[in-house]
Amino acid sequence: MRHAVIMLAAVSCLSVFAHGQTADELVNKNIQAKGGIEKIKAIKSVRITGKLNGGGGFTAATMQENQRPNLVRETFSLQGMTAVTAYDGATGWQIQPFGGHKDPEFMGEDDLKDLLLDADFDGPLVDYKEKGNTVEFLGHDVVDGDDALRLKVTLKDGDIVYYYLDPDTYLEIRKEVQEFVRGSVRESVMEMGSYKPVAGVMYPFSISQGSKANPAAQTTSVEKMEVNVNINPADFAVPAALKTEEKKSGLVGIH
């Protein structure tokens, strides 16, 4: 009985501690855990190369390049073909040879949602108020049997990202995304681990992604992380051939 009373008291203290923290405090602790805002803002570009292991047993080469403030290019190479998705700060475009589309084309608004999340150089938590996002602390939760602190981020466009922070390190260990597409909800889950410092900033070197039922459907192992690298601006830009096609047809890219 005495043991039960002690346990109840401990749980109560934990609950009080949890609710005593605010969303802003946790966001600040997360930023500090990553290296601090000065070191984060000192990074102007990032190039990440890795290997993606899919559920079907295939392995693909991946690369993601980001440049401030919101430029991104992602490639996926398999069996001699390379898929490209990119955002130049205003327009999203892609090349999807695996779907039989070898020529560049503009991305639709629905497909662009994921890419815009990746284009946010520092992520939705850094400068969240200036970005028009709101953050709420929802208390403790459990991720793979371990305790986690849960934050709800409502983006400016209404989509929602749930972040799960390690209560010891305050780094993200899980992210759940809810995107609202034409009246329906599209959900995805990402789990992050194996953090290592690069230029004083902590980055995950293991990233799994999938559905809630199978969050580890695809796992990317980062092989090389480079920061403040020179990236050709043309790599993000809409290809000239696509611009020419746009002028001829009178189409307007997604902004």
Domains of the chain as residue ranges with CATH: 43-249 (2.50.20.10)
User: 93 near 242, Cβ under 8 Å?
Assistant: yes
Q: What is the C-alpha R_g of the chain?
A: 20
User: 27 near 151, Cβ under 8 Å?
Assistant: yes
Reported confidence tier of residue 14, pLDDT bands at 50, 70, 90: very low
Give the helix, strand, coil percentages of the chain, each rounded to 5. 25, 45, 30
pLDDT at 16 over 60: no
The lowest-confidence range among 26-35, 67-76, 108-117 is 108-117
pLDDT tens-digit map of 194-233: 999 999 999 999 999 998 888 888 999 999 999 999 999 9
Burial of 233 (0-12, 13-18, 19+ CB in 10 A): exposed
Q: Rounded mean pLDDT of 54-68?
A: 91
Confidence (pTM): 0.86
What's residue 248's pLDDT?
A: 59
The lowest-confidence range among 20-29, 96-105, 199-208, 241-250 is 241-250
What's residue 20's pLDDT?
A: 57
pLDDT tens-digit map of 147-193: 999 999 999 999 999 999 999 999 999 999 999 988 899 999 999 99
What's residue 241's pLDDT?
A: 85
Q: What is the DSSP letter of 171?
A: -
What's residue 125's pLDDT?
A: 97
> What DSSP assignment string belongs to 227-249?
ES----GGGTSPPHHHHHHHHHH
User: 148 near 142, Cβ under 8 Å?
Assistant: yes
Which of 89, 162, 91 lies closest to 124, judged by CA?
162
Type of residue numbered 40: I
Share of the chain above pLDDT 70, in %: 88
> What DSSP assignment string belongs to 108-170?
PHHHHHHHHHHH-TT-TTTTTTTTT-EEEEEEEEEETTEEEEEEEEE-TTS-EEEEEE-TTT-
